[in-house]
Amino acid sequence: MVTGRGLDVLRAIVTDYVASREPVGSKSIVERHSFGVSAATIRNDMAQLEEEELIVAPHTSSGRVPTDKGYRVFVDQLADLRPLSPAQRQAIETFLGNSADLDDVLARTVRLLSQLTNQVALVQYPSLSRARVRHVELVPLSDSRLLSVLITDTGHVEQRVLEVQGLDPEVLAELRARLNTALGGQTMADAAATLRSFAESVAPERRELVAALVGALVEQLAANRHERLVMAGTANLVRTERDFSGSIYPVLEAIEEQVTLLRLFAEMEPDERGVSASIGRENASFGLPETSVVISGYGSPGGELARVGVLGPTRMDYSNNMAAVRAVARYLTRLLGED
């Protein structure tokens, strides 16, 4: 069983190895950290950590590096989610706060998160299957063209232009009011079902217009219901190529398979700190055995809608990355909650 000091030695090994990429020996631990014991005592602690398969000697060097199991213990028991600096927090608020729409905010999110962590940043689009209708707007563009706008509680906007003859502003105003009464607050699936019976409730002379409008809105409800990811910072992965034992191309291919990453995201559940990490061999079934993924959930006042996170080699700064991912996720949630 690993002692308390042994866990502190593991923390020192993880911290130093992440910073230097060099195997960590007992002498360097004594020099860099205030344990107040001899190098021989630290060597005994390291021997115990090695027996528990938390560290390993990569070659003939006397130094040791963390194993996937060692990183797991570090993340679960030892990692401190140090708060972001005031400058980092200000950067999040300033950069994301200037976003024009949902597409823009998610694109900005991954760019910022990749800069904060030096990893590949990933953000999942909010699932429209769990989103709700906030508002429907009908905007006449001409006597025969109509813009249909669907807005969800996630901030997502879908638009369609319809060619319809004989547009009457009073009729449009009435239809707009009825549609918002019928659809407001409904999920995408419920709203689609409501629309299919909506045409039957209008006067016969309006059914042609309503049929075209309903068809467009059903398309808007279905648009982008498949889950997808926005990604940035792939160059960060290339810069850490030495952390991978073989070719980096299988990793690049795996992250391009969004279905694979979405499956991994779905299996990860944030802990009481609001984050989750999947490390090394835990990702083997997804083709990512030498990578770690850190995620957090973000959403609207109605609950979590999607995940945001980073992907990189197992030799990553877990404390910083977990704190950055959590902070960005919390800001996204506040942003989506704004009217």
Which range among 75-79, 196-200, 248-252 shows the weakest confidence by mean pLDDT?
Answer: 196-200
Tens-place pLDDT, residues 30-56? 999 989 899 999 999 999 999 999 999
Together in a domain, 48 and 115: no
Task: Give me the helices (H) in the chain, please.
Answer: 4-20, 26-32, 39-51, 68-73, 86-97, 102-117, 169-183, 188-198, 207-222, 234-239, 249-256, 258-267, 318-337
What is the 3-state secondary structure of 73-111?
HHHHHHCCCCCCCHHHHHHHHHHHHCCCCHHHHHHHHHH
Together in a domain, 289 and 201: no
Give the domain extent around 231.
86-127+227-337
Together in a domain, 152 and 169: yes
Its pTM stands at 0.75
Together in a domain, 71 and 147: no
Residue 120 β-bridge partners = 311
- The region, left, alpha or beta by phi > 0 then psi within -120 to 50, assigned to residue 303 is left
85 or 301, greater pLDDT: 85
CB neighbour list of residue 99: distance below 8 Å, 6 or more residues apart: 105, 108, 335
Together in a domain, 153 and 170: yes
pLDDT for position 338: 61
Total domains in the chain come to: 3
Tens-place pLDDT, residues 183-201? 998 887 788 888 878 877 7
Together in a domain, 102 and 138: no
C-beta separation of 125 from 227 below 8 A: yes
Tens-place pLDDT, residues 265-303? 989 988 888 999 999 999 999 989 999 999 999 986 555
Could you say which of 199, 222, 245 is where a domain stops?
222
Together in a domain, 123 and 235: yes
pLDDT for position 300: 62
Q: For residue 12, is pLDDT > 60?
A: yes
Neighbours of 58 (CB within 10 A): 11
pLDDT, the chain, mean: 87
Together in a domain, 109 and 188: no
Could you say which of 191, 222, 253 is where a domain stops?
222
CATH number of the domain that residue 175 is part of: 3.30.390.60
The SS3 assignment for 229 reads strand
Single out the residue of 40, 44, 55, 43 nearest to residue 10, CA to CA: 55
CATH number of the domain that residue 27 is part of: 1.10.10.10
Q: For residue 224, is pLDDT > 60?
A: no
Could you say which of 222, 243, 276 is where a domain stops?
222
Together in a domain, 234 and 328: yes
Together in a domain, 318 and 217: no
Together in a domain, 39 and 72: yes
**DSSP letters for 233-280:** -HHHHHHTGGGSSS-SHHHHHHHH-HHHHHHHHHH----TTS-EEEEG
pLDDT for position 226: 56
Q: For residue 313, is pLDDT > 90?
A: yes
Single out the residue of 211, 54, 222 nearest to residue 129, CA to CA: 222
